[in-house]
C-alpha cells in the first residue's frame, strides 16, 4: 500500500511539473521573439537566444530532475541514474549561465536581484553536487542535489504564487482596470521568485533533515 501511494505521489508530482513546465515554454516553442513574455533588450542581439536556451534547458532539468530521487532507479539502474545526472547537471550549468546573463538585462530591480540570486545559487549547488559525487561522498551529493532541484522548482512555484497574488490584489481592489498584465507581472514576478526561493529552500532543508534523522535511527553513518 505504501509503494502504491508513493507511485501515485510521484506520478501526480511529475504531471504537475510537466504541465506547468509546458505552459512556461509554450510562448517560445515557435522561436518567435514577438511572443516572448520577457521584455527583450533591443541593444542586446543575443538576448532572445540566451533566453530560449535558458528556458528550454531549464525545462529539461525540471522534467528529468525527479528521476534522480526515485530510490528504485538509483538502486537498480545505477548507470541510468548516472547518465540522467550528467544530463541534468549539464542543463543546469548552461541554463544557469544563460539565465544569469539574461537576468542582467531585467529592468525591474526586485526581479533582477531575484533572478541573479537564483542563478548563482543554482550554479553553486550544482557545482557542490558535482564535486561531492566526484569524491564519492554520496550523502553529501544527495543533499546538494535536493537543494539544487529545489532551486530548479522555483520557476514552477513562483508561477503558482504570482497568479494567486494577482487574484488576491484583484479581490481586495488594489488593481485598477483595465488590467495591464505586462506591468503587473513586472511588479509581482520578482516578489514571487523570492517567496518561492525561500519556501523551496525551507522544504529542501526539512527533507534533508528528515533523511538524516532516518539514517541516524538505522545506525548508518
Determine the pLDDT at residue 3. Answer: 62
Determine the pLDDT at residue 212. Answer: 82
Whether omega for the bond prior to residue 178 falls within 30 degrees of 0, making it cis, is yes
80: domain range?
A: 2-217
Q: CA triplet 122, 126, 132: central angle to 5 degrees?
A: 150
Per the CB < 8 A criterion, the answer to whether 121 and 130 are in contact is no
For residue 146, CA distances in Å to 40, 44, 46, 73, 117 come to 32, 35, 32, 16, 18
Q: Give per-residue pLDDT as tens, 34-84.
A: 888 788 888 888 999 999 999 999 999 999 998 888 877 777 888 888 999
Handedness of CA 207, 156, 21, 151 (dihedral sign): negative
Q: How many domains does the chain have?
A: 1
Section 96-108 average pLDDT = 91
Determine the pLDDT at residue 63. Answer: 92
Per the CB < 8 A criterion, the answer to whether 151 and 200 are in contact is yes
Determine the pLDDT at residue 97. Answer: 97
Determine the pLDDT at residue 125. Answer: 97
How far is 103 from 114, CA to CA, in rounded Å? 9
Flag whether pLDDT at 214 surpasses 70: yes
Flag whether pLDDT at 1 surpasses 60: no
Secondary structure (3-state) at 62: helix
Section 184-199 average pLDDT = 81
Please state the pTM of the whole predicted model. Answer: 0.86
What's the alpha-carbon Rg for the chain, to the nearest Å? Answer: 19
The pLDDT-based confidence of 111 (bands split at 50, 70, 90) is confident
Amino acid at each position: 500500500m505504501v509503494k502504491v501511494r508513493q507511485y501515485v505521489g510521484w506520478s501526480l508530482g511529475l504531471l504537475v511539473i510537466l504541465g506547468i513546465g509546458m505552459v512556461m515554454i509554450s510562448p517560445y516553442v515557435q522561436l518567435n521573439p514577438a511572443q516572448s513574455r520577457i521584455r527583450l533588450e533591443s541593444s542586446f542581439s543575443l538576448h532572445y537566444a540566451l533566453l530560449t536556451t535558458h528556458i528550454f534547458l531549464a525545462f529539461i532539468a525540471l522534467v528529468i530532475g525527479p528521476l534522480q530521487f526515485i530510490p528504485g532507479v538509483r538502486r537498480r539502474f545505477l548507470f541510468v541514474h548516472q547518465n540522467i545526472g550528467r544530463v541534468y547537471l549539464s542543463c543546469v550549468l548552461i541554463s544557469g549561465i544563460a539565465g544569469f546573463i539574461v537576468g542582467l538585462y531585467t529592468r525591474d530591480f526586485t526581479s533582477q536581484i531575484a533572478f541573479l540570486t537564483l542563478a548563482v545559487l543554482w550554479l553553486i549547488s550544482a557545482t557542490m553536487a558535482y564535486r561531492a559525487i566526484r569524491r564519492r561522498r554520496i550523502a553529501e551529493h544527495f543533499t546538494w542535489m535536493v537543494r539544487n532541484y529545489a532551486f530548479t522548482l522555483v520557476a514552477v512555484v513562483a508561477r503558482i504564487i504570482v497568479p494567486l497574488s494577482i487574484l488576491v490584489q484583484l479581490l481586495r481592489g488594489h488593481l485598477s482596470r483595465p488590467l495591464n498584465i505586462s506591468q503587473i507581472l513586472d511588479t509581482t514576478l520578482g516578489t514571487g521568485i523570492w517567496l518561492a526561493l525561500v519556501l523551496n529552500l525551507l522544504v529542501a532543508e526539512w527533507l534533508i533533515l528528515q533523511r538524516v534523522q532516518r539514517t541516524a535511527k538505522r545506525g548508518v553513518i
